Amino acid sequence: MTFPSALATILLLAPTFSFGQTRPEFGASVGVVYVDVYVSEREKPVQGLRGEDFDLRDNGVPHRVEIVETDALPVQVLLVFDSSNSLTGEKREALRQAGNLLLDALRPVDEVGVIAFSDEIRWLARPTLDRGAIRNAIASLEPVGGTAVYYALLSALAVADPRGRTLVILFTDEADNSSLLDAFHLRVAAERSSAMVHLVTVRPPRPFAPNARVEMEPHPLESIAEHSGGQAWIAHSTATLTEAFARIAASLATRYVLRYEPKDEPKPGWHRLEVKLRQGKARIQTRRGYWVPSS
Amino acid sequence: MEILGRFHWRTLDEGFSRIRGEIERASRCEDCSDTLKEPIRAAVMLHLDRDLFENPPHQDVEQKPPCGGRHAERALEYASLLARRDRTRDFARRFFLAMTWRAEWDACMQQARAWARIGLNAFPEDPDLRLALGVSYEKAARLGTGDPERSLREARRELSRVVSSAPERQQARVHLGRVLWRLGFTEAAQRTLEAVLAAGSDDRSRYLAHVFLGQVHERKGRTELATQAFRRALEVVPDGQAAALGLAHALLVHGDTIGAASATERALSRKASSLDPYRDYNADNAGSSHDLFDTLRRESLQ
């Protein structure tokens, strides 16, 4: 399994929250901005940070941030699983185990939904708190047809709760061969959505070639996952697939949600975000920006 | 069992040799009677079946099956003989077409093009063969084999020829519109797709034309027109997944998250039995090769 040296996730949510409310309501109009951050050092989460430890810039303008208590903030998790013809045998079983492991790590307040895709997409389970229903949905995955991974990701981005925190975990073992849309369409859609995307792919190990540089072509969705504040996980065997899900699950409990109020009404369009720590060399993985609609 | 198998293959190979000898003799004979034409048709199909046996399709649709081998080439060679005689010309034409579709279905794009060209040598004005050639170039570009830009230019050339020679072929116009869009000629793509709609085409062609027009408008930043086109596609095929998700994308990019979620729900909740014409667009007629082979097989035994 290839994991970058640090795991960091950040989820930006453009909200209509006023200070004093007990629970933030995330939404499309920007009065307050919420940024979901994962900070790590040597692949371990850095905890105990305060708002003043962060240096956050919105289109280059620094903002004072506060840390929001995440205990009461439910997360909507959308499991988007490849059920195309190539998902057979060990791979399917490993995916089921990995999905169940993730469910065990979630809090009771977190809703989970399952979307299956081959060359078509469909709900296996709409977002629910009922873990039994989700386990049954995962168990019912049956391999058939081609791979419309772009349809699947677009669906998850579009149905993500626009006023909540949504985590999309997309598993696929193939490149798209069936969608009308392409990676460019998905990149734009991901910028408009507040969902954070983790991409998990299965790929054979790099071939041994002692005197040659062998470059593996990245999956087109890898950069989309990273730009959304999530991460691309590459499992080189089905045995290590569960490890990816375990680490995603572990990261859920150790994230920060930062909150700040832009001084002026944010201008419509793309807002570039930069988040750093004022001190130390911890790695921060964050959404690269957010979109403010024109009306 | 193994001995029996060897015996079976040896007998079959001897049979093929005999047939080949007969056919070669017949092909050199200008005045021979038509008595040999039926065995030639049977030989064409026999070689095809031997090829299908030796190169069976994979069970897994996501694994590329092997391309046709020496028996497929032999079958094409014999079919070329049939193309010389009036009574068997149409059999040969349809055989070339089915072989092109088969290669396209198996993603053997070089073979698909080669086989279509063999057919076009015998039938230069045939719109079906030329459409199959154009579609195989389009598919090669989509699969990223070779030089996609060049494949699209070739596809444009072949499809334009079909549209010129057989303007009633709306299927060719739909493919041409899509290819023009992919080449970046959005205005020409729009005109071509609008012509499909103006011609009062069948539901499949109208649906695809609306969906592709939606993408043309979206690329030009005309969101209203794009959403309108996707909605019209959904009027033609209410369960159309490509149209619903095209609409969802256009609305999401425009900032209408509620509309995008609603359109996506439509795609996620469609009936399992419903079929989106776009799903078959990339394969086009290629999926029909086996049906056409069955028809030809029956005819060859008559």
Whether pLDDT at B61 is above 60: no
What is the reported pLDDT for A221? Answer: 87
Query: What's the angle, vertex CA B155, arms to CA B153 and CA B159, rounded to 5?
Result: 125
Same domain, B122 and B160: yes
Whether residue B301 is contained in a domain is answered as no
Separation in Å, CA of B174 to nearest CA in chain A: 14
pTM of the shown model: 0.83
Whether pLDDT at B117 is above 90: yes
State the CATH number of the domain containing residue B216: 1.25.40.10
Interface check for B265 against chain A (CB to CB < 8 A): the answer is yes
Query: What's the angle, vertex CA B109, arms to CA B170 and CA B51, rounded to 5?
Result: 110
Alpha carbons B98 and B88: distance in angstroms, whole number: 16
A159, A173, A291: best mutation site toward chain B, by most B Cβ within 10 Å?
A159
**Average model confidence (pLDDT) for chain B?**
84
Alpha carbons A151 and A83: distance in angstroms, whole number: 13
Same domain, B240 and B119: no
Same domain, B95 and B154: yes
User: Which chain B residues touch A185 with a CB distance below 8 Å?
Assistant: 249
User: Which chain A residues touch B216 with a CB distance below 8 Å?
Assistant: none
Beta strands in chain A (DSSP E): 12-13, 33-41, 44-45, 54-58, 61-63, 66-68, 75-82, 111-117, 121-128, 165-172, 196-202, 232-235, 256-260, 269-277, 283-285, 289-292
B211, B247, B252: best mutation site toward chain A, by most A Cβ within 10 Å?
B252
Query: Does B259 or B79 have the greater pLDDT score?
Result: B259
Q: Please, which pLDDT band fits residue B297 given cuts at 50, 70 and 90? A: confident
User: Which chain A residues touch B282 with a CB distance below 8 Å?
Assistant: 178
Torsion over CA of B108, B109, B114 and B118, rounded to 10 degrees? 80
- Domain endpoint, select from B166, B184, B202: B166
Whether residue B11 is contained in a domain is answered as no
**Average model confidence (pLDDT) for chain A?**
82
Whether residue B142 is contained in a domain is answered as yes
Same domain, B155 and B94: yes
Same domain, B157 and B216: no
Separation in Å, CA of A209 to nearest CA in chain B: 25
DSSP string computed for B18-45: HHHHHHHHHHH-SS--GGGHHHHHHHHH
Asked whether the beta carbons of A233 and A4 are under 8 A apart, the reply is no
Whether residue B23 is contained in a domain is answered as no
Mapped onto helix, strand or coil, the DSSP state of residue B288 is helix
Asked whether the beta carbons of A146 and A129 are under 8 A apart, the reply is no
User: Which chain B residues touch A293 with a CB distance below 8 Å?
Assistant: 254-255
Same domain, B138 and B234: no
Distances (CA, A) of A288 to A53, A233, A272: 19, 19, 6
For the stretch A130-172, pLDDT in tens is 999 999 999 999 888 888 999 999 999 999 987 788 999 999 9
Separation in Å, CA of B46 to nearest CA in chain A: 31
Whether residue B161 is contained in a domain is answered as yes
Same domain, B209 and B158: no
Asked whether the beta carbons of A168 and A195 are under 8 A apart, the reply is yes
Asked whether the beta carbons of A147 and A117 are under 8 A apart, the reply is yes
Average pLDDT over residues B139-156: 90
Terminal-residue alpha carbon distance, chain B: 33
For the stretch A19-47, pLDDT in tens is 333 445 444 445 788 899 999 998 889 99
Q: What percent of chain A has pLDDT over 70?
A: 84
Whether pLDDT at B187 is above 90: yes
What is the reported pLDDT for B5? Answer: 47
Query: Does B273 or A229 have the greater pLDDT score?
Result: A229
Interface check for B282 against chain A (CB to CB < 8 A): the answer is yes
Same domain, B158 and B253: no
Helix axes B109-122, B86-105, angle to 10 degrees: 170
Average pLDDT over residues A86-96: 84
Alpha carbons A82 and A98: distance in angstroms, whole number: 13
How many contacts, defined by CB atoms under 8 Å, are there between A and B? 87
Q: Please, which pLDDT band fits residue B116 given cuts at 50, 70 and 90? A: very high
Residue of B241, B253, B282 with shortest CB distance to A120? B241
Nearest CA in chain B to A193: B252
State the CATH number of the domain containing residue B42: 1.25.40
Whether pLDDT at A16 is above 50: no
Q: For residue B242, how many C-alpha atoms fall within 13 Å in the half-sphere facing its CB? A: 28
Tell me the Cα Rg of chain B. 23
Q: How many CB atoms lie within 10 A of CB A121?
A: 26
Same domain, B47 and B158: yes
Query: Does B290 or A133 have the greater pLDDT score?
Result: A133
Whether pLDDT at A177 is above 50: yes
B267: which 2 tokens?
Answer: 């795609």
Helix axes B203-219, B241-254, angle to 10 degrees: 20
What part of A 202-261 touches B (C-beta under 8 Å)? Answer: none
DSSP state of A116: E
Same domain, B49 and B107: yes
Nearest CA in chain A to B63: A86
Q: Is there a contact between A151 and B265 if contact means CB atoms under 8 Å apart?
A: no
Q: Is there a contact between B245 and A154 if contact means CB atoms under 8 Å apart?
A: yes
Whether residue B5 is contained in a domain is answered as no
For the stretch A34-90, pLDDT in tens is 899 999 998 889 999 999 999 999 999 999 999 998 877 889 999 999 988 877 778
Helix axes B86-105, B70-82, angle to 10 degrees: 150
Alpha carbons B184 and B175: distance in angstroms, whole number: 14
Q: Is there a contact between B252 and A86 if contact means CB atoms under 8 Å apart?
A: no
What is the reported pLDDT for A11? Answer: 40
Nearest CA in chain A to B282: A178
Asked whether the beta carbons of A243 and A251 are under 8 A apart, the reply is no
Q: Is there a contact between A85 and B252 if contact means CB atoms under 8 Å apart?
A: no
What is the reported pLDDT for B103? Answer: 85
Same domain, B201 and B152: no
Average pLDDT over residues B4-25: 61
Nearest CA in chain B to A191: B253
Whether residue B144 is contained in a domain is answered as yes
Q: Is there a contact between A154 and B264 if contact means CB atoms under 8 Å apart?
A: yes
Global ipTM: 0.84
What is the reported pLDDT for B130? Answer: 96
Q: What are phi and psi of A220, to 5 degrees?
A: -60, -20
What is the reported pLDDT for B1? Answer: 38
- Full domain range(s) for residue B241: 192-279
Alpha carbons A259 and A205: distance in angstroms, whole number: 41
What is the reported pLDDT for A40? Answer: 92
Whether residue B63 is contained in a domain is answered as no
What is the reported pLDDT for A137? Answer: 95
- Distinct helix (H) and strand (E) counts, chain A: 6, 16
Whether pLDDT at B118 is above 80: yes
Interface check for A16 against chain B (CB to CB < 8 A): the answer is no
Whether pLDDT at A209 is above 50: no
Nearest CA in chain B to A178: B279
Give the total number of structural domains in chain B. 2
